Amino acid sequence: MLISRLAVAAVGFALSASTALGGSTAYPISVTNCGFTFEFKKAPQNVVSIGQGATEILYALGAGDNMAGTALWFAKVLPEYEAANANVARIADNAPSFEAVIGKKPGLVTTQFEWMIGKQGVVGTREQFRDLNVPTYIMPDDCEGKDNLVGADGTRKGVYTPDFLYKGIGQLAEIFDRQDKGANLIADLKARQKKAAEQAKALDLKGASAVFWFSSADLDLDPYVAGKLGPSAYIMKTIGLKNVIESAEEWPTVGWETIAKANPTYVVIARMDRRRFPADDFQKKLEYLKTDPVTSQMDAVKNGRILIVDADAMQSSLRMVQGMEKLVKDLAERKK
Amino acid sequence: MILSTHDLGWSPRRGEMIVRNLDIAVREGETLGLVGPNGSGKSTLLRLMAGILTPSRGDVRLGGRSLRAMARREAAQSIALVEQHADTEDRISVRDAVEIGRTPWLSALSPWSAADDAIIDDALRAVDLEPLAARDWTTLSGGERQRAHIARALAQRPRVLLLDEPANHLDIQHQLSILDLIAGLGLTTIIALHDLNQVMACDRIAVMHDGRLRALGPPKDVLTPFLLAEVFSVGVAILSDPEDGTPILRFKPL
Amino acid sequence: MSEAIVGANGFQPLGRWIASLLKAAAILIAAALAGICIGETRIPPETVMQTLANRLFDASYALDPIDEGIVWNYRLTRAIVAACCGAGLAVSGLVLQSLLRNALADPYLLGISAGASTGAVLVSVAGLGAGAISLSAGAFAGALAAFGLVAALARLSGGNAGVQAAGQIVLAGIAGSQLFNALTSFIITRSANSEQARGIMFWLLGNLSGVRWGEVGTAVPVVCLMLVVCLAHVRALDAFTFGADSAAALGVPVRRVQAALILVAALATAVLVSIVGSIGFVGLVIPHAARFLVGVRHARLMPATALIGAVFLIAADVLSRTLIKGQVLPIGVITALVGAPAFAFILIRSRRLR
């Protein structure tokens, strides 16, 4: 099944001509998103958003009043959006059913992940929604430059940059006529990133390398780590750390043997609320690194260079910049 | 009296009795023919006598001892059964198949020995299969397979040999040669047979009907036109072989 | 009595038996060494040998502790557990094929793999135990539950005779496997997201990456015990050549032997599946390969099956780690990719020999 997913998805890079930041939206507009073009005569109502990252972007744009439902949550909503979230029905904690989404009579369905709505979408395909005149919007950071039919969590075709995220914010801002908010949000994210990168540069991390460990199906099993092209790799590159993982998959499974031999300067482990696998708990990850006969011999472990970052900050989302800031802060503390 | 049944009955779980009230005593050295229409209980009786089935009522005794009180292994050292439908898809050689007959005699304390090899040689010789010893089971003809089965039973060195329609499905030449072979073994033999003319060579015959023993005695005394009409629903004319005077049954519809 | 004939029955004189044993041990050790030398990363063979010398004979070569750790704690344990799994699954398959007179029987017929999957999915996807229960503990419990159900079903529906019981356990196994597979699908569709689904996928196709000395301590005694019990029954298994009734007529206590051997095969398989996931094809194919090479008498067939199974799985594990650089394929994919053509070849060759 993993091997059979060799079909290559054609992914559209076309930028909608009307994407311009600032000002107000002149409806009707047409928006092209990953090979699909939809027309909006006014800001859509009864929007259903699947995936916490996409949902929080809508809240940040102040589009909460346009929304009728959310699904697929990984953690608590960010505190600043608690009020907005309280007024929107949660259809499902995980994947919602097609009919539950359609039942909201949505003017737009947004999704953070193509595996929710897309060629092999668990909720449905984009064609299914289009047949019912429901436009769909997939965050460009997941559907552009990434083939979600190869590898378990998709495979990057090129290097991830936050421009995909900014493009998504910009297009959503245009659709909801919130272009000022969108522009401010993007400017803020860019500024914070720049600052983090500058601080990191001052730390003089020359030649330092790292591995981002998300989780493992079982503690001794091969771990899920960040691939060389995804958002985590972008974070590492921005800060000036070299990723020791070679795979282009988003979250490849790589053997401890390979990781130990690569002997990275830092091991970055994810903290999350989820408790599905024992390794979801960052304390268990720490314990493993320190007790396994091989990983305990790694330089990063022997010298206490293990950093902890929130799992959401390892993905392309509003939280990514927080992850960057936290990492730089931790690195600075260790340098003292 | 080597093998005997006492008020023997058997039924499957929650089923009707397949055989019942059987009292048969087999004498040392005799050949007892088992006859009866299809479904009269011949195969069930043989399986009970071999100890494969546990009686629902009464018991089977070997030399006066109940099979119930005997380990399977001990019973198999005295009683061998040649089944009607035993076959295999395995690519096993004839000699290997015959060697399996030594199973009840072998254990960790008495492993395979030269004596066992001699017994296998004897068994193969007795059924004229020595030249085919190395052949694959699947290449044998029906008659050759039947001989090999008999050789495997002989390898058990049994005191009683049970055979369930051993000549079935063979052409007439092989039928006669198998029956001739069995008659020449000199063992106490209980043989279920389909062809009523072939049972004439038995010392005694037991006629089964609806799971019960209908008659027991020498063939000439038992196979009367009256009994054949009642049990087999056929009419019969009894002729005589001009060569040796053996009675020949000629059947006709009633 | 010619030598050839004595050898043919599989019960060889002591000298030749010892010679065979040494040959088998040499093959197994060679395979294990290959398994330790080849891996995801390049470690020179002399480092491997020096590590073994350090650990086994207290030599004191100065080695990179990471290299030494990888060889001793990852690769050696992996090779040992792979060998145990190969031998255990193959012998389980052989025993079931012989007892049930069914060439398609394999250890997963008893619902073990389906039950283990359900248990693993309950733990990892449905979140049973909230991270406190490991995947393998869940898998083991699931495997036992499924086998218990299959055994109970077979018993309730079984007739008096051994032959019927054999048929019933095949049917009960199919029913039980279907039930547990449906449960697994139900749990996954109810609650899985892609990362969990893949965690389970990875495990379902077999995975030796989590193997350490602890797993060796479980797998080795279990497989050794199982081999001892099965080897003690080689004559009884021979007696099943012409069916269960024929075995009974040869003095084999059919029901007791069937119950004991099926139970042993099921327990060993459940332990192995809980350690490495369900690796397919080994239990089905290896016994046929061994029959092709040494014939059908169990005194030779069973050791041969164990040896071929062990070597095959070590080789499959090496392939799974090296076929695609930087990525480990599920070992179940390799056993099927290599096993299926090998099986076809054996089928065609044995056909021609007839």
For chain B, 254 residues long, the average pLDDT of each consecutive 10-residue run is 92 87 94 94 95 93 93 94 87 94 90 93 93 93 92 95 90 88 91 91 94 94 92 90 88 88
The answer, for B71 touching chain C at a CB cutoff of 8 Å, is yes
Contact C339, C317 (CB under 8 A): no
C317-350 residue pLDDT tens: 999 888 877 667 888 888 888 878 877 887 787 6
> What pLDDT was estimated at residue C4?
37
Name the residue facing A258 among C132, C193, C326 (closest C-beta).
C326
The answer, for B72 touching chain C at a CB cutoff of 8 Å, is yes
Largest CA distance in chain C: 69
Q: Do B96 and C250 touch (CB under 8 A)?
A: no
- Closest CA relative to residue C209, chosen from A279, A308, A188: A279
> What pLDDT was estimated at residue A4?
36
The answer, for C210 touching chain A at a CB cutoff of 8 Å, is yes
List, in order, residues 6 or more apart from C220 with CB less than 8 Å away.
C80, C84
> What pLDDT was estimated at residue A2?
36
Residues of B in contact with C1 (CB under 8 A): 114, 117
Using CA atoms, how far apart are residues A36 and A127, in angstroms rounded to an integer? 9
Name the residue facing C131 among A3, A252, A280 (closest C-beta).
A280
Question: Where a domain ends, among B156, B177, B196?
Answer: B156
**How many other C-beta atoms can be found within 10 angstroms of the C-beta atom of residue C92?**
34
Which H or E run includes A29? strand A29-33
What is the DSSP secondary structure assignment for residue C74, as one 8-state letter? I
Please tell me whether residues B168 and B99 are part of one structural domain. no
Residues 243-272 of C with CB under 8 A from B: 243, 245-246, 248-253
Residues 33-62 of C with CB under 8 A from B: none
Contacts across the A-C interface (CB distance below 8 Å): 115
A299-313 residue pLDDT tens: 999 999 999 998 888
Residues of B in contact with C16 (CB under 8 A): none
Using CA atoms, how far apart are residues A82 and A100, in angstroms rounded to an integer? 23
List, in order, residues 6 or more apart from C247 with CB less than 8 Å away.
C162, C236, C239, C240, C254, C257
Residues of C in contact with B146 (CB under 8 A): none
Contact C71, C78 (CB under 8 A): no
Residue of C nearest to B80 (CA): C249
Helix boundaries (H) for C101-134: 112-124
Residue that has been written with the tokens 């599989």 in this structure? C10
The answer, for C18 touching chain B at a CB cutoff of 8 Å, is no
Degrees to nearest 5, angle at CA C17 with C16 and C20: 85
Using CA atoms, how far apart are residues B124 and B55, in angstroms rounded to an integer? 34
Instruction: Give the domain extent around B231.
Output: 3-78+158-253
Q: Please report, as a single letter, which amino acid is at residue C123.
A: V
**Neighbouring C-alpha atoms within 13 Å toward the C-beta of C129:** 19
The answer, for C140 touching chain A at a CB cutoff of 8 Å, is no
Q: Please report, as a single letter, which amino acid is at residue A66.
A: N
Q: List chains touching C (3+ CB pairs under 8 A).
A: A, B
Which H or E run includes B59? strand B57-62
**With bands split at pLDDT 50, 70 and 90, how would you rate the model's confidence at A15?**
very low
The answer, for B59 touching chain C at a CB cutoff of 8 Å, is no
> What pLDDT was estimated at residue A336?
64
Q: Which two three-digit tokens encode residue C105?
A: 């029987």
**How many other C-beta atoms can be found within 10 angstroms of the C-beta atom of residue A277?**
24
Q: Is residue B188 part of a domain?
A: yes
Question: Where a domain ends, among B156, B185, B213?
Answer: B156
Residues 97-136 of C with CB under 8 A from B: 103
Identify the residue among C163, C242, C297 best suited for mutation to test binding to B, counting B beta carbons within 10 A and taking the highest: C242
Q: Å from A251 to nearest chain C CA?
A: 9
What is the DSSP secondary structure assignment for residue C234, as one 8-state letter? H
Q: Do C9 and B111 touch (CB under 8 A)?
A: no
Name the residue facing A252 among C200, C210, C327 (closest C-beta).
C327
> What pLDDT was estimated at residue C48?
93
- Among A272-276, B124-128, B219-223, C35-39, the range scoring the smallest mean pLDDT is A272-276
Beta bridge partners of B34: B192, B206
How many domains is chain B partitioned into structurally?
Answer: 2
Using CA atoms, how far apart are residues A36 and A31, in angstroms rounded to an integer? 8
**How many other C-beta atoms can be found within 10 angstroms of the C-beta atom of residue B63?**
12
> What pLDDT was estimated at residue C2?
37
B83-96 residue pLDDT tens: 988 888 888 999 99
3-state helix, strand and coil shares in percent for chain A, rounded to the nearest 5: 40, 20, 45
C84-121 residue pLDDT tens: 999 999 999 999 999 888 888 888 878 888 888 888 88
Residue that has been written with the tokens 């080689």 in this structure? C234
Q: Is residue B84 part of a domain?
A: no
Q: Say if residue A226's pLDDT is above 70.
A: yes
**With bands split at pLDDT 50, 70 and 90, how would you rate the model's confidence at C196?**
low
> What pLDDT was estimated at residue C152?
85
Residues 282-341 of C with CB under 8 A from B: 291, 295-297
For residue A162, whether the previous peptide bond is cis, meaning omega lies within 30 degrees of 0, is: no
Residue that has been written with the tokens 């060799």 in this structure? A6
CATH code for A203-335? 3.40.50.1980
What is the DSSP secondary structure assignment for residue A212, as one 8-state letter? E
List, in order, residues 6 or more apart from B50 with CB less than 8 Å away.
B75, B79, B80, B81, B162, C248, C249
Q: Å from C19 to nearest chain B CA?
A: 19
DSSP string spanning C325-339? Answer: TT----HHHHHHHHH
**Neighbouring C-alpha atoms within 13 Å toward the C-beta of B229:** 7
Considering only residues A217 and A211, tell me which one the structure prediction assigns the higher pLDDT.
Answer: A211
Q: Do C5 and B95 touch (CB under 8 A)?
A: yes
Q: Do chains A and C touch (3 or more CB pairs under 8 A)?
A: yes
**With bands split at pLDDT 50, 70 and 90, how would you rate the model's confidence at C197?**
low
Residues 164-183 of B with CB under 8 A from C: none
CATH code for A29-189? 3.40.50.1980
Name the residue facing A294 among C73, C192, C198 (closest C-beta).
C73
Average pLDDT of chain C, as a whole number: 84
The answer, for C161 touching chain B at a CB cutoff of 8 Å, is yes
Residues of C in contact with A113 (CB under 8 A): 194
> What pLDDT was estimated at residue A153?
67
**With bands split at pLDDT 50, 70 and 90, how would you rate the model's confidence at C354?**
very low
> What pLDDT was estimated at residue C13?
67
Residue of C nearest to A281 (CA): C131
Please tell me whether residues B180 and B71 are part of one structural domain. yes
Residues of C in contact with A253 (CB under 8 A): 202, 327-328
> What pLDDT was estimated at residue A17?
37
Name the residue facing A294 among C69, C201, C321 (closest C-beta).
C69
Q: Å from C227 to nearest chain A CA?
A: 28
Buried/exposed code over C319-330 (b: 16+ C-beta within 10 A; e: otherwise): bbbeeeeebbbb
Contact C276, C88 (CB under 8 A): no
For chain B, give the number of residues: 254
Residues of C in contact with B79 (CB under 8 A): 249
Residue that has been written with the tokens 């086994």 in this structure? C56
Sign of the alpha-carbon dihedral angle for A211, A214, A216, A217: negative
Helix boundaries (H) for chain A: 52-60, 82-86, 98-102, 126-131, 140-143, 163-175, 179-202, 231-239, 256-262, 282-291, 299-302, 320-335
Domain positions in chain C: 21-353
List, in order, residues 6 or more apart from C232 with CB less than 8 Å away.
B108
Average pLDDT of chain A, as a whole number: 86
C217-266 residue pLDDT tens: 999 999 999 999 999 999 999 999 998 889 999 999 988 998 899 889 98
Interface of A with C (CB under 8 A): 1-3, 72, 94-95, 113, 115, 152-153, 215, 217-222, 224, 246-247, 251-258, 260-261, 263, 275-278, 280-281, 284, 292-294, 297-298
- Closest CA relative to residue C125, chosen from C77, C201, C187: C187
Burial class of B59 by CB neighbour count within 10 A (0 to 12, 13 to 18, 19+): middle
Please tell me whether residues B203 and B174 are part of one structural domain. yes
Q: Which two three-digit tokens encode residue C171?
A: 């049917």
Considering only residues B155 and C202, tell me which one the structure prediction assigns the higher pLDDT.
Answer: B155
Contacts across the B-C interface (CB distance below 8 Å): 104
Q: Which two three-digit tokens encode residue A68?
A: 């009728």
**With bands split at pLDDT 50, 70 and 90, how would you rate the model's confidence at C3?**
very low
Using CA atoms, how far apart are residues B115 and B119, in angstroms rounded to an integer? 6
Name the residue facing C40 among A152, A252, A255 (closest C-beta).
A255
Using CA atoms, how far apart are residues A78 and A36, in angstroms rounded to an integer? 31
Name the residue facing A294 among C74, C127, C328 (closest C-beta).
C74
- Closest CA relative to residue A128, chosen from A117, A112, A143: A117
**Structure-derived torsion over alpha carbons of residues A77, A80, A81, A86, reported in degrees to the nearest 10:** 90
Q: Say if residue A11's pLDDT is above 90.
A: no
Q: Which two three-digit tokens encode residue C179?
A: 């039930």
Output the CA–CA distances (angstroms, integers) from residue B36 to B8, B205, B228, in the order listed.
17, 10, 10
Contact A55, A68 (CB under 8 A): no
Q: Say if residue A276's pLDDT is above 80.
A: no
Q: Say if residue A10's pLDDT is above 50.
A: no
CATH code for C21-353? 1.10.3470.10
Please tell me whether residues B183 and B249 are part of one structural domain. yes
> Where residue B183 sits, what CATH number does that domain have?
3.40.50.300
Please tell me whether residues B42 and B99 are part of one structural domain. no
Please tell me whether residues B11 and B110 are part of one structural domain. no
C11-21 residue pLDDT tens: 556 778 888 88
Domain positions in chain A: 29-189, 203-335
Residues of C in contact with B52 (CB under 8 A): 161, 245, 248-249
Sign of the alpha-carbon dihedral angle for A162, A167, A170, A175: negative
Q: Do B73 and C251 touch (CB under 8 A)?
A: yes
Question: Where a domain ends, among B112, B134, B156?
Answer: B156
ipTM of the complex: 0.90
What is the DSSP secondary structure assignment for residue B200, as one 8-state letter? G
Residues of C in contact with A254 (CB under 8 A): 326-327
Please tell me whether residues B11 and B106 are part of one structural domain. no
Please tell me whether residues B125 and B247 are part of one structural domain. no
Residues of B in contact with C243 (CB under 8 A): 83, 86-88
